[in-house]
Chains A and B, each alone.
Chain A
Amino acid sequence: MYFFVDTIVDTQKSGIEHAIIRRLELFKMHNKDAKIITTNYHRTVYASLTTDGLNNDVINLFDYYQKVADVPFTPATLDTLVLPEHALLKKSVNHQYQVVLNHKVIMQITTFADTQKQIDLIRYLDDEGKTIYIDYYDIRGFLSKRDHYDTNNDWLTVEQWLDVTGQPVIENYHQINFDNKVDVTVYRLRGKDNVWYTFDGVQGYMRHFFDELNLAYNGHNAFIFDRASETAWASTHMVTPNYPIGHFHNSHVTDTDDIMHSSLNGFFTFMIKNQDHFHYMISATDTQTKDVLARWPKMRAITIPVSYVSDAQLANQVDFAKREKHTLIVAARLAPEKQQIDVVKAMVQVRKQVPDARAEFWGYPNGDYGDQVKKAIKEAHLEDVISLKGYSSTVNQEMDRVGLSVLSSRMEGFSLSILEAQSHGLPQVVNNVKYGPSDLVIDGQDGFLVENNNIDMLAAKIIAIMSDEQLQTTLSANAYTDARRYSAENVWRQWQVVTDDYENNYLK
């Protein structure tokens, strides 16, 4: 079994989740057993997993111990809720209800939006209206978590996750920590054979989970740790035999112009310092693998693209005449490292040469960068030119409609977006940064590489493509061709280096 270890697979996915999902498709395609493991608690994530069709592919740590997998539920609703004897239920505001006993509000109930009064959470109150404990319900309908409070100080004191029978299975106790603050100071988990294990922190119980899961799947499984930082200690301290693989999902250094001396990207410091522990360390591009090996020649570094282009996609070429040739797309999170504001600035120049030029930004905002982008658009008076489209899981359909793609990132690990655009036959103008753009885009053949933060150059290349239909059509045709480098067959060939080693050397 291959386990892909992540924190969460939610509605809004980062490149790591996209990479994992693409990898899962590839593994299934080649009849390899693989599952995604997630470690974070999220009581509504099941809804998006259902939408993504991933319910049977994801094993979540909390679900595992709460024993919820494959159990059908009748959701807890206001109608099925058993109230304390003699208590009355009253509606207060939207999705809010109160339970009154002896003229005192003893419970406040919140229901999930868009449901038939399905219970979201219940707050239990003392006579002074202070919270005694809060019951949180999973979107699937069962009581999932109970937070206990110290009513004298309004301190959260015990967090308790319950299994589907109501039995506590994970507990976090909040006491005084070394900073003299009330915070989690001990973790408990009810594991195999109903034994309670105690841990000093999250890494401890993640490690325990990985080991129990490993044993539950007959041991000696392969674990690809896709969140090198979040699962760092756990990934290297498993006590059951396993086959660990590390993964660079971004640049491993902060300054890609000085790969030999640059400080390390904090996310990967631990993994790099503990590189001997991993059977392979995967980079998505040859350029990165080359840089990694230059600095750590003994590292078992290997290149495997984090996505692939399906055969169906390769067969589906859009007639260029049908495209909106003067509309460009930026498909990336609205985030400082993606530098969408550079595109806004470039568009001012583009509009002067190509008056009907338009731009569409697809992606969810990180922090307040979305607002910054909005502000920049307003200042440039481009509100009618640049549309902020938000996150969409079907952005690839938009790529069949528009005329080119732009990515102005400061840094990349691979850029799923570039590959996606290429496989949809889009000419591209992308920053020539590490890692990804220069591996994916062949300058002058299927698009152009431009200097980071060089607005004039960025604008010039966009203008060049938009104002030359012949060029645009040629670049598009070449993009379709170049995307074939990332066919499922080609990418799998690279995976086989790992799977062969695991199955033929390690397991035997």
Chain B
Amino acid sequence: MHYFINYSLVDINSSIEHAALMRLKLFKSNNLAAKYITLNWDYLNPLRVKNQDLTDADVVNMYDFFANTAQFKQTPRHHLADLPLPNAWTWDNSDANQATIKEGDRVRAKVHYIPGLVETTGKIDYYDTFGKHYRTEYWDPRGFLISAELYSAQGNVLEQVLYDVNTEQPVLTRFFHVVDNQVVLYRLQLNHAGQTYTFNHENALISFFLNVYTQADDAAVLYVDRPNLAQPVLEMRQTVQKVLMVPTLHTSDPDDQVTANLNNEYYYSIYEHLRDFDAVLVATEHQAQDLRRWLGGSADDLTSTKTPIYAVSRAITHPTAPTEPKTAGKIIYAGLLNDYEALKDIVVAYSKAKKEFPHLSLVMAGYGEAYEQLKNDVAKQNIADISFPGYLQTPALAQELKTAALFLTTQKGDVQPLTLLQALSFSTPVISYAFNYGPRDIDPDQQAIVTVSPRKRSLLVKQVVHFFATSDHQAQQQAAATIAANYSPTKVLAQYQATGLLG
């Protein structure tokens, strides 16, 4: 069994989760048993699973596992009237998001519904005789009490208690105290299979869980999707295979991946513990070579590092023949909206080109710190036809990419731009700054991706204007689909097979 070790699965996922989910689908469709493992404490986890078009069996959450949620056999309790609350209590549900529960005139609790679900109990805050909050309960969307929090008189959480969903017994307690005004987890106590376990750090619990969960599996392969999960995986027993995924650039300088300082996130996994992994997977051969050289090995020699470094694409594309026409003049950027200066280049290039081609429009899809600022800029400068739809879930994003005439990006670095490749798979040509590891690795001949030297905004404007000077992009569109086919499931599977991890 292959286990993809992640913190979470949320509604707004980063490329790390997207990559792991694509891998999950690839493995499943090739009859390779695989599971997406999450380790976060979040009672809304089951909803995320549904939203990602996965089955409950595909995703295993550590806390769900200890709470035995998969074995839930009671009658689900979703609504206020089903809760074990006294008959004498009354509730006011005039608010669509919450209900206030009273005994006579005294407020005993407030029930917060699960976002997006009608009057379905999510969180219950309880109030004491003096109106102070003393306890919170979390009700799983599947209809049972999953955990509760106890609060100190000073208002900080003291304990989080996880319940077994059938016996309603506490199975795991997380203890907190305050250090320098921060609420810090300092102890975890687990009751499992008749034994009590005490941990001082969540990583110790994670190691324990992974050992228990993979216990009967002689062929377990664990993929560390986030570098800061390397420690708990390495502290597991020796008999499982451990694979380090490198989801970001490995040095601190995007333009120098051979001699610059190591990205701090990899200090533990690559600098200190490389030999403890069975394999390291990076997304491109280019990065594999750079990393081997960074480690003092030779670029093309798999055996020149303590642990072999393989290139396996994290993007998996499904190129399809265009099913609907492109919207003339539609430009799209989709991705993180964090780097204000870089993203401004897109807006400027667009506004300049629009002066010459008034039919142009721009979609800035995504979320991030620069979202508000960019929106305000656009409003202030009165630039027409720019939309900010926010983070788009997979089908909506696909629709936008399909109908776009051009994908425009100004990012500075990435191990492999997933959305850019997705755009290509919908036959959408690209204009991009050059960056590691991106356009030039994907399309060395610039058939579908026009590459501009980084931070040369005037050149970028020029290329956009040049692109829209002609309306015939058929050759570029065809090239896009052809290039995207290099990342088809078959090709990526072959890359996995070359690593020997598939057994």
Give residues in A with beta carbon < 8 Å to B.
82-85, 87, 101, 106, 126-127, 132, 148, 150-153, 155, 157-158, 165-167, 173-178, 182, 185-186, 193-198, 200-201
Contacts and interface: CB of A to CB of B under 8 A. Distances in A.
Given A84-B198, A150-B152, A194-B84, 10 more contacts: A82-B196, A127-B200, A132-B175, A152-B178, A175-B128, A175-B130, A175-B132, A176-B132, A186-B128, A198-B103
A195 B129 contact: no
Contacts of B196: 82-85
Contacts of B178: 152
Contacts of A150: 152-154, 158
A31 B332 CA distance: 90
A198 B106 CA distance: 11
Nearest to B109: A198
A464 B221 CA distance: 101
Contact of A153 (B152, B167, B198, B200): B152
A201 B106 CA distance: 14
Interface string B80-110: 0000111000000000000000010010100
A318 to B, nearest CB: 59
5 contacts: A126-B186, A175-B151, A175-B153, A185-B134, A194-B84
A192 to B, nearest CB: 10
B72 to A, nearest CB: 17
B177 interface: yes
Contacts of A148: 150, 158-159
Contact of B130 (A127, A151, A178, A198): A178
B230 to A, nearest CB: 23
Contacts of A166: 169-170
Q: Interface majority SS on B: helix, strand, loop or mixed? A: strand
B152 A155 contact: yes
B197 interface: yes
B457 interface: no
Given A148-B150, A152-B154, A175-B130, A198 B108 contact: yes
Contact of B129 (A127, A165, A167, A186): A186
Nearest to B163: A167
Contacts of B412: none
Contacts of A106: 198
B106 to A, nearest CB: 8
A211 to B, nearest CB: 12
A215 to B, nearest CB: 13
Given A153-B152, A165-B169, A185 B84 contact: no
B449 to A, nearest CB: 55
Nearest to B86: A197
A132 B159 CA distance: 10
List 10 A-B pairs, minimum CB-CB distance, nearest first.
A186-B128, A185-B128, A150-B152, A84-B198, A173-B134, A200-B129, A195-B84, A182-B153, A175-B153, A84-B196
B158 A157 contact: yes
A201 B108 CA distance: 14
Contacts of B134: 173, 175, 185-186
Contacts of B106: 200
A101 B198 CA distance: 9
Contacts of A155: 152-153
B169 A176 contact: no
A185 B178 CA distance: 23
B152 A176 contact: no
Given A132-B187, A153-B154, A165-B169, A193 B84 contact: yes
Interface residues of B, number: 35
B194 interface: yes
Nearest to A101: B198
B135 interface: yes
B85 A176 contact: no
B194 A82 contact: yes
B131 to A, nearest CB: 10
A106 B153 CA distance: 24
Contacts of A177: 130
B168 interface: yes
Nearest to B89: A198
B31 interface: no
Contacts of B128: 173, 175, 185-186
Interface string B166-199: 0111100001011000000011000000111110
Contacts of A83: 196
A134 to B, nearest CB: 14
Interface string B107-130: 010000000000000000010111
A186 B195 CA distance: 33
A158 B150 contact: yes
Given A196-B84, A198-B103, A85 B130 contact: no
Contact of A82 (B103, B177, B195): B195
Contacts of A197: 86
B177 A126 contact: yes
B151 to A, nearest CB: 8
Contacts of B135: 173
Interface centre among A175, A177, A195, A200 (most CB of B within 10 A): A175
B307 to A, nearest CB: 30
Contacts of B177: 126, 151-152
A185 B129 contact: yes
A166 B171 CA distance: 11
B459 to A, nearest CB: 59
Nearest to B132: A175
Nearest to B127: A186
B499 to A, nearest CB: 35
A83 to B, nearest CB: 7
A101 B152 CA distance: 27
Nearest to B133: A175
A497 B19 CA distance: 85
A200 B130 CA distance: 9
A132 B86 CA distance: 31
A127 B186 CA distance: 9
A155 B170 CA distance: 22
Nearest to A194: B84
Contacts of A200: 106, 129
A200 B177 CA distance: 28
Nearest to A185: B128
Contact of B150 (A157, A167, A178, A194): A157
B235 to A, nearest CB: 14
B158 A185 contact: no
A150 B153 CA distance: 8
A126 B169 CA distance: 23
Contacts of A157: 150-153, 158
A101 B200 CA distance: 11
Contact of B197 (A84, A126, A158, A165): A84
A122 to B, nearest CB: 11
A174 B153 contact: yes
A132 to B, nearest CB: 6
B187 A126 contact: yes
B130 A167 contact: no
B159 A167 contact: no
A204 B134 CA distance: 19
B231 to A, nearest CB: 17
A194 to B, nearest CB: 5
A114 B104 CA distance: 50
A174 B106 CA distance: 18
Give the most central of A150, A177, A178: most B CB within 10 Å: A150
A452 to B, nearest CB: 45
B377 to A, nearest CB: 46
Contacts of B175: 126, 132
Max chain A C-beta neighbours (<10 A), residue from B153, B196, B200: B153
Nearest to A176: B153
A185 B134 CA distance: 9
